[in-house]
Amino acid sequence: MALHHLIAQSSLGREDSSASLSILEEELLRVGADGWSSLSASLRAKKSVQEYLQASAVDGDEHLVNDLELSEALHSVAEALRRVAVSKAGAQEAAAEWKRKYEQERIRNICLQQQNYQGAPFLQANEIKNSSSAACDGDLLCHQESPSNLPQYATGQSFGRKDFCDQQFIHSNSILSNLASASAKKPPLEKASFRLEWGCNGEKSRRHKHEIVSFENGNITTANHSSKQITLIWDTAPQTVCILSKPNSASVQQLCMEMIRWLEEKQMGVIVEPRVRQELLDTSPYYSFVQTWESDSEVSVLHQKVDLIVTLGGDGTVLWAASLFKGPVPPVVSFSMGSLGFMTPFDSGCYQDCLQTIMNGPMYITLRHRLQCRIMQADESIEGREELDRHSEEIHLVLNEVTIDRGMSSYLTNLECYCDDVFVTSVQGDGLILSTPSGSTAYSLAAGGSMVHPQVPAILFTPICPHSLSFRPLILPECVTLKVKIPDSSRGPAWVSFDGKDRLQLGPGDGLICRMSSWPVPAACIEEPTHEFLRSVREGLHWNLRKTQSFEGPRDVS
């Protein structure tokens, strides 16, 4: 053994003994790195060295001093190895304890999520798979091999009744016994995944971000058309469709029932509004498999369950659908059953072919930007664009426009307008419209504003009947924050409305903060978005439609 060889060398002179001491320490450290077994070997080596030192103590004082130094060094090394081994064992115990606590917390979270599934009207029995459970102190503990077995939209929030039975056990590949038998054949309502492609002139890119400006070697360049064609490609097939329909229309109700039956044949999950579900159940119990929501908290997470939104109606139905989502919005497929139809390109007469094509993918989409608005009370500060984020419960998201007008007052409105905290102008007239590009063909157009392509990132600043000959509309970049305030000297109040709804009164000192939202509405298109926009302008508004000049009559003489 290497240790006996080192001990034998330690009987030499001081120089050789010191060298042997250094080599012995290194050998002990190498051997001790293997854990408890190495520690035992080191202690046995130390004992052998001590016995040898006692036997050779008569060799002289100088040699004794060297041997004592060697003994003390060996003792120090052995003590260090012991402390290392004890620390290692303690660390392993602590790691095991943390792992046990983590597993307990993970199991408890899975249990809470399954409690939510038990009472939720959204969810079906076969969403909970590969799970096992055990009861502990009256609580239901549900084991699961992998968190990925849960639906991707599981958030731990409650979506329905909370009367979960603590003594109920859920075994592997089992279904909840208290759910309707019709729901057992439904597919799992898992969120489908997709990706986007940016394309222009036949070139496509699948980057997660779309850069507009780049620089290289001191040269600044922009992308070849900053707003490119956007294509949505499904990675997994969509499984859940939310249908939002126009009320009080027999033709819309009939189409809705036909579409639901067709989606059921395709084994798709269907979610409708509570009003529509009740109308369906009054018609026939066949529609018991259709799901709905029961509270605003369920609506706030609806985007986590829905793969496609289908609207049956006109542009107003699309506005209503967008207002339900205060954050991300799933792709919207709009069928035209209204009067104008700027945002409803699909023909309801061939809905089966349209939906099948969209579900197969890929499809063009138009990102319709929304405005994010908040009422500013008289006693609040006008500073800081982060105010919109701190008061999320007061946020209004609009797809068309936010309007501030004089209402029933006979006086002109007097509105102080700021752009990024810099005073711009005072509006004296009937009011002001802050519009998105999608809303440029609505109220803003009637007030003299320009028509803007929906994918142009901009905010339209359009006065309503201004008492000025030089007050023309503006188109501002999407990065600005606009603030409109009612001055204290105003003769009367003003009224604000968001997409024609939620009309509120603003008194002197009150105001509105408005900026572009981070959550656009992805609207499905039949064709390339620019072609579709121009077609809707020509066909919907009859843009530049007039009789052609007759070829008969006087002509230029060359």
Over range 361-378, report the average pLDDT. Answer: 90
**477 vs 456: CA distance, rounded Å:** 9
**56 vs 477: CA distance, rounded Å:** 93
Q: Considering only CA atoms, which of 210, 205, 238, 209 is closest in space to residue 222?
A: 210
Confidence of residue 67 (pLDDT cuts 50, 70, 90): low
Residues of the chain above pLDDT 70, percent: 66
Q: Exposure of 480 by Cβ count < 10 A (0-12 exposed, 13-18 middle, 19+ buried)?
A: middle
Q: Considering only CA atoms, which of 163, 340, 355, 345 is closest in space to residue 242?
A: 355
**Residue range 3-41, pLDDT digits in tens:** 444 444 444 444 444 444 445 445 444 544 444 444 455
* Angle between helix 14-32 and 36-55 (nearest 10): 160
Asked whether residue 347 carries a pLDDT value surpassing 70, the answer given is yes
Asked whether residue 427 carries a pLDDT value surpassing 90, the answer given is yes
At 398, list the tokens: 């609009």
Over range 350-357, report the average pLDDT. Answer: 93
**455 vs 198: CA distance, rounded Å:** 13
**Residue range 113-163, pLDDT digits in tens:** 666 554 444 433 334 333 333 333 433 344 333 333 333 333 333 333 333
Asked whether residue 82 carries a pLDDT value surpassing 90, the answer given is no
pLDDT, the chain, mean: 75
> DSSP of 178-193, one letter per residue?
TS-GGGGGSPP-PPPP
Q: Which residue has the higher pLDDT, 386 or 344?
A: 344
Predicted local distance difference test score (pLDDT) of residue 50 = 56
In whole angstroms, how far apart are CA 402 and each of 248, 353, 495? 27, 36, 11
Asked whether residue 196 carries a pLDDT value surpassing 90, the answer given is no
Is 315 an annotated catalytic residue?
yes
Q: Exposure of 553 by Cβ count < 10 A (0-12 exposed, 13-18 middle, 19+ buried)?
A: exposed
State whether residue 429 is helix, strand or coil.
strand
Predicted local distance difference test score (pLDDT) of residue 203 = 63
Q: Which residue has the higher pLDDT, 207 or 180?
A: 207
**78 vs 410: CA distance, rounded Å:** 96
Predicted local distance difference test score (pLDDT) of residue 435 = 97
Residues of the chain above pLDDT 90, percent: 39
Residue position matching structure tokens 């077995």: 149
> Of the listed 67, 307, 315, 430, which one is catalytic?
315
Confidence of residue 466 (pLDDT cuts 50, 70, 90): very high
Predicted local distance difference test score (pLDDT) of residue 70 = 72
**424 vs 422: CA distance, rounded Å:** 6
Q: Considering only CA atoms, which of 467, 403, 471 is closest in space to residue 432?
A: 403
| 502 φ, ψ (degrees, to nearest 5) | 50, 50
Within 10 angstroms of residue 99's Cβ, the number of other Cβ atoms is 10
Predicted local distance difference test score (pLDDT) of residue 212 = 64
Confidence of residue 420 (pLDDT cuts 50, 70, 90): very high
**Residue range 295-317, pLDDT digits in tens:** 888 888 888 899 999 999 999 99
SS (H, E, C) 371-413: EEEEEECCCCCCCCCCHHHHCHHHCEEECCEEEEECCCCCCCE
Over range 479-498, report the average pLDDT. Answer: 92
Confidence of residue 426 (pLDDT cuts 50, 70, 90): very high
Predicted local distance difference test score (pLDDT) of residue 498 = 95
At residue 319's C-alpha, the angle toward residues 481 and 290, to 5°, is: 130
DSSP code for 135 = E
Q: Considering only CA atoms, which of 403, 401, 398, 390 is closest in space to residue 372?
A: 398
